[in-house]
């Protein structure tokens, strides 16, 4: 490496730092779309200002890339979606009934559920799925211990808490079998 190349290296590294990498393009496009929706118009000025604000936000609030396993099982994805929509429908009816039934308000609990996976992507997907099903919400995530802390509605006995833990394990299993690495899939077999 010549003296000239060494002198150019820090400058080119800075230029790359403010540029957009290929894996960041979906995030960039999403942020620009969000920006134009907030302004309620699509004009050259709103798109250019959205581009500038998005790049600055991506650099100031940097998110590490999520490592994906480069595999997708369509059959397991259908099973996951079927399970999710079934529980979404059942839980919606249960929460609706709890809101109009006479009597005392239902008991709630905060429970810790330890996941098998160490993948940030799968932990996030499990947390999002649980939060989208009525009656449960992720209160906190301990990513280093792979633990979700859930606020769960209608838990008068330990049976309901056990059922919720089993539901989370089933969701984690389905997501892992859909997009998990070969090593993670092997843990579930």
DSSP for 61-115, written as a single string = T--PPPPP-S---HHHHHHHHHHHHHHHHHHHHHHHHHHHSSSSPPPEEEEEEE-
Q: What is the pLDDT of residue 71?
A: 84
Is the domain of 45 the same as that of 93?
A: no
Residue 119 dihedral angles phi and psi, to the nearest 5°? -75, 125
Same domain, 50 and 120: no
pLDDT tens, 159-169? 999 999 999 99
Q: How confident is the model at residue 123 (pLDDT cuts 50, 70, 90)?
A: very high
Strand-pairing partners, residue 111, are: 150
Distance between CA atoms of residues 14 and 109, nearest Å? 49
Query: Do 116 and 155 share a structural domain?
Result: yes
| 23, 62, 182 from 65: Cα distances, Å | 8, 9, 20
Average of per-residue pLDDT across 7-24: 56
Query: How much is the pLDDT for 12?
Result: 46
Residue 99 falls within a domain, yes or no?
Answer: yes
Q: Is residue 92 part of a domain?
A: yes
81 and 55 co-located in one domain = no
CB neighbour list of residue 8: distance below 8 Å, 6 or more residues apart: none
In the predicted structure, residue 9 carries a pLDDT above the cut 70: no
Least confident residue range of 12-16, 17-21, 30-34, 164-168: 12-16
Query: Average pLDDT over the chain, rounded to whole?
Result: 87
Residue (of 184, 94, 172, 187) closest to 134 by Cα position: 94
Each residue's pLDDT tens digit, 46-90: 999 999 999 898 888 877 776 777 788 999 999 999 999 999 999
CB-based contacts of 2, cutoff 8 Å, min separation 6: none
What's the domain count of the chain?
2
Angle among Cα 72, 125, 159 to the nearest 5 degrees reads: 115
Predicted local distance difference test score (pLDDT) of residue 18: 58
Quickly state the pLDDT bin for 45 (edges 50, 70, 90): very high
Quick one: 170 and 133 in the same domain? yes
Residues spanned by the domain of 156: 74-187
Say what the pLDDT of residue 25 is. 84
């Amino acid at each position: 490496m010549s003296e000239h190349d060494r002198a150019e290296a820090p400058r080119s590294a800075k230029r790359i730092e403010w540029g957009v990498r290929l894996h960041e393009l979906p995030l960039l496009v999403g942020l620009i779309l969000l920006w134009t929706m907030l302004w309620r118009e699509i004009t050259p000025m709103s798109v250019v200002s959205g581009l500038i604000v998005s790049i600055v936000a991506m650099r100031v609030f940097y998110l590490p890339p999520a490592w994906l396993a480069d595999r997708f099982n369509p059959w397991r994805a259908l099973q996951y979606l079927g399970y999710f929509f079934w529980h979404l429908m059942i839980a919606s009816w249960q929460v609706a009934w709890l809101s109009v039934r006479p009597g005392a308000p239902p008991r709630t609990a905060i429970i810790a559920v330890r996941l098998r996976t160490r993948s940030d992507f799968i932990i996030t997907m499990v947390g999002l799925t649980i939060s989208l099903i009525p009656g449960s919400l992720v209160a906190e995530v301990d990513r280093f211990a792979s633990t979700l802390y859930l606020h769960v509605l209608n838990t008068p006995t330990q049976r309901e808490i056990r059922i919720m833990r089993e539901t989370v394990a089933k969701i984690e299993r389905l997501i892992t079998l859909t997009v998990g690495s070969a090593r993670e899939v092997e843990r579930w077999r």
